[in-house]
Amino acid sequence: MTNYENGQNIAAASEKNIRTDFKESMTYGDYLHLDKLLTAQDGVSGHHDETLFIIIHQVSELWMKLILHELQSAIDHINKDDLQTAFKQLARVSRIQAQIIQGWDVLSTLTPAEYMEFRDDLGNASGFQSYQYRMIEFALGYKTKHVLKIYEKDEPLHAKLETAFNAPGLYDAAIQKLARSGFVIDEDFLQRDVSMVYESNESVREAWKTVYRDVETHWELYQLAEKLVDIEDWLQQWRFRHMKTVERIIGFKQGTGGSSGVNYLKKVLDQYFFPELWEIRTDI
């Protein structure tokens, strides 16, 4: 008997309570629905590297589902003035974003020659159509109504996106918290149409400036601001890695969904979700 086999026998003997009979009870695979999850990688080309392409995007969508779950809960807790719970959830969002960024590093192992062998088989399917990514943008305050048209063929999904589009986002909740904390925010701004793209406001900028100039007095609001900056910072890194991965694989070709590809991805790098939190870094 080899040392390895002897070690295995000793380990097995010491774990006599490990259950092996699951005829009448739930297993790990049952709980996670692995029968569905691990058979959802049906490609359209039969090319070896399409499995990589599918899994990277599916994993990203799972992470985005968790981001939306945490963001909505964080918004609810900020509205209830429970900032400590919100901080925990927003910190988790930042760590999830880091995981998605690592995914682009894996996808970048796909070479242009390999991708070209199955790219045409994708038709017009594109990550540009990710409805969860749009909902993350909506939750962070970036509202672009024209993208809703992409989802019109699925009425329940379209309705879900319209609801998210017209709902106050994370930054709206933070600004309302500033007002409840005694900061003077323009009343018409507090009542603004939240379906419009957020634009910088001077009263909000002044409020955050006061927070950063007296951190000890406004410690929780300062923490909230930095959690927001973390999320925007990570999201921009996510966008940058996306752009560079696309450039590495297809150069400046048009995207499968009809966008300008890399040029479009470069433009969105200039979008800000929480502009005043960046502007005050010059002011203070």
Predicted pLDDT at 14: 67
77-132 residue pLDDT tens: 999 999 999 999 999 999 999 999 999 999 999 999 999 999 999 988 888 889 99
Single out the residue of 246, 244, 233, 218 nearest to residue 272, CA to CA. Answer: 233
Radius of gyration of the chain (CA): 23
**Residue 13 pLDDT more than 90?**
no
Does an H or E element contain 45, and which? none
Mean pLDDT value across the chain:
91
Q: Which residue has the tokens 């502009």?
A: 275
pLDDT band at 21 (very low <50, low <70, confident <90, very high): confident
**Residue 4 pLDDT more than 70?**
no
> What are the binding residues?
53-57, 115, 119, 242, 256
Helices 170-180, 219-250: crossing angle, 10 deg rounding:
160
208-243 residue pLDDT tens: 999 999 999 999 999 999 999 999 999 999 999 989
Question: Which of 4-13, 23-32, 153-162, 256-265 tops mean pLDDT?
Answer: 153-162
pLDDT band at 60 (very low <50, low <70, confident <90, very high): very high
**Residue 203 pLDDT more than 60?**
yes
Predicted pLDDT at 20: 74
Does an H or E element contain 82, and which? none
**Residue 71 pLDDT more than 90?**
yes
DSSP 151: G
Q: What percent of the chain has pLDDT over 70?
A: 95
> What are the binding residues for substrate?
53-57, 115, 119, 256
Residue-range domains of the chain with CATH = 49-282 (1.20.58.480)
Q: Is the pTM of this model over 0.85?
A: yes
Predicted pLDDT at 1: 59
179-201 residue pLDDT tens: 999 999 999 999 999 999 899 99
How far is it, in rounded angstroms, from Cα 103 to Cα 48? 18
Token digits of residue 136: 């993350």
> What are the binding residues for heme?
242
Token digits of residue 225: 């601001």
pLDDT band at 17 (very low <50, low <70, confident <90, very high): confident
**Residue 11 pLDDT more than 60?**
no
Q: Which residue has the tokens 């909230």?
A: 224
Predicted pLDDT at 5: 62
Token digits of residue 130: 């990710």
How far is it, in rounded angstroms, from Cα 252 to Cα 255? 9
